[in-house]
């Protein structure tokens, strides 16, 4: 359907250009060609302006759609960051801190045993 409409529009434009060309050369020659050029430039300006309006409207629609889509994604990212923060705190409190305390106690005990029993150093 859209293809048929497009072909009809192209045929009408071509027919209009042929009619304008015939009219321009039949009436005044070069003066008519100048008038034809003015008319074609005016039509081009109208078409370009209409296309620019369409592009601006589509861009505004895209920005709106992006705003609607980005808000849920941003909320999900914030929830994920909060979950990661909570998990990190939990692992640190329940595993890493006790492990550090045990390692420091063992290191102190090892130092104490070496000091009491005397450690033999290898002379280089």
Q: Across all residues in the chain, what is the average pLDDT?
A: 83
Express as a percent the part of the chain with pLDDT over 90: 21
- pLDDT at residue 50 tops 90: yes
- Mean pLDDT, residues 103-110 taken together: 88
Cβ burial of 11 (10 Å; 0-12, 13-18, 19+) is exposed
CA angle 83-84-87, nearest 5°?
85
Model's pTM, two decimal places? 0.46
User: What sign does the dihedral 29-34-37-42 (CA atoms) show?
Assistant: negative
Q: For residue 106, is pLDDT > 70?
A: yes
For residue 44, pLDDT beyond 90:
no
DSSP annotation of 28: T
The residue assigned the tokens 């039949």 is: 26
Query: Which residues, 6 or more positions from 33, have their beta carbon under 8 angstroms from its beta carbon?
Result: 24, 25
> What pLDDT sits at residue 120?
61
């Amino acid at each position: 359907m859209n293809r048929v409409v497009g072909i009809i529009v192209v045929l009408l434009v071509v027919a209009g250009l042929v009619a304008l060309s015939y009219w321009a050369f039949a009436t005044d020659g070069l003066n008519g060609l100048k008038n034809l050029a003015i008319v074609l430039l005016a039509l081009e300006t109208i078409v370009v302006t209409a296309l620019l309006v369409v592009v601006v409207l589509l861009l505004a629609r895209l920005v709106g759609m992006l705003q609607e889509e980005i808000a849920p994604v941003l909320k999900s990212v914030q929830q994920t960051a909060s979950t990661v923060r909570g998990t990190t705190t939990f692992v640190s409190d329940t595993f890493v801190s006790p492990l550090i305390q045990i390692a420091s106690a063992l290191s102190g005990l090892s130092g104490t045993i070496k000091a009491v029993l005397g450690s033999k150093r290898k002379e280089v």
